[in-house]
Amino acid sequence: MKIKGSVVFVTGASRGLGLAFAREAVARGAAKVYAGVRNPAAFDKPGIVPVMLDVTDPASVAAAAEMAKDVTVLVNNAGIAEITGSPFSDLAEDHARRIFETNYYGVMRVTRAFEPRLPNDGRGAIVNVLSDVTWRTVPMLAPYSASKAAAWSYTNNIRAQLKERGISVVGLHVGFVDTDLTKAFDVPKASPRDVVSQTYDALEAGESEVLADAGSKALKRTLSLAVPGYIDPEVLAGQ
């Protein structure tokens, strides 16, 4: 399938990686690009149609799917992250519920609403933005990591379910991306444009997974080891 001529809907598209997905779709010649945002009145980007969307609100999700009936490519980008401090923190359970509501249940809601409308002729696709913390051990991000691990499992299951309909499902794994969300972290960061370009290239090539930075690639290589990187982070030093 090709992004050119497709109709793309990106959740969480007001800024950062989501906005990069929307802009790149326009640049690649998409027939129409929808941006799922919380405040459409404040969104004014050339060639992109803003749609009110709160992925934690079933009514909002249903209304967005009803408005954008012509979508052929869905990009589930909306997500939140919080530093819990410790998996044993008194706040960890509340953080987990709030994060899962967006990062896991939000993906489920949006996918369920749009899936019946996706075409069965090879033009239909779903891209789920995941994370390297699916496999990386970061105790202060334990609830966030769990939500992305759950979303990864969901992504793999819907890929199998939708294969017979000819709908592609791509999982994007990446670490820190250079956006407003990560500006306080002094760590190596991937370029949003590069991440998006890799993802759309993979989708057009018929691939199912994107490892968009060196860290994600290194982590994935350890998964088949007797002691993988998620058990002993020191293993990554040899990757």
In this predicted structure, the answer to whether residue 197 has a pLDDT above a threshold of 80 is yes
pLDDT at 119 over 80: yes
The mean pLDDT value for 85-93 works out to 91
Whether 178 has a pLDDT exceeding 80, the answer reads no
- Position 227 scores a pLDDT of 94
Place of tokens 């379910």: 161
Per the annotation, the verdict on 45 as an active-site residue is: no
Per-residue pLDDT, 190: 87
- Which of the four pLDDT bands, split at 50, 70 and 90, describes residue 152? very high
For 158, the domain range is: 7-236
Q: For 13-52, write each residue's pLDDT tens digit.
A: 999 999 999 999 999 999 999 999 999 999 999 999 999 9
Does a structural domain hold residue 1? Answer: no
Q: What is the pLDDT of residue 35?
A: 98
Question: Is residue 103 domain-resident?
Answer: yes
Q: Given 104, 105, 144, 154, which residue is catalytic?
A: 144
Among 32, 104, 148, 220, the active-site one is 148
Q: pLDDT value at position 239? A: 62
In this predicted structure, what is the pLDDT of residue 236? Answer: 81
Q: Output phi, psi for 46, to 5 deg.
A: -55, 130
What number is the average pLDDT over the span 140-145?
A: 93
Percent of the chain beyond pLDDT 90?
86
Q: Looking at the domain assignment, is residue 2 inside a domain? A: no
Q: Would residue 208 count as lying in a domain?
A: yes
End-to-end CA distance of the chain: 34
- Number of domains making up the chain: 1
Please give the average per-residue pLDDT across 55-74, as a whole number: 98
pLDDT classification of 7: cutoffs 50, 70, 90? very high
Instruction: Determine how many CB atoms are found less than 10 A away from the CB of residue 59.
Output: 8
In a domain, 197, yes or no: yes
The mean pLDDT value for 97-117 works out to 98
Local confidence band at 180 (pLDDT 50, 70, 90 cut-offs): low
Phi, psi of 75 (to 5 degrees): -115, 110
At residue 234, the pLDDT reads: 86
Mean pLDDT of 114-134: 96
The CATH number of whichever domain residue 37 belongs to comes to 3.40.50.720
154 found inside a domain: yes
pLDDT reading at 224 higher than 90: yes
User: Which residues have CB under 8 Å from 61's CB, separation 6+?
Assistant: 53, 54, 55, 109, 110, 113
Specify the higher pLDDT residue, 222 or 185. 222
Which residue carries 């793999």 as its tokens? 156
Q: Is 148 assigned a catalytic role? A: yes
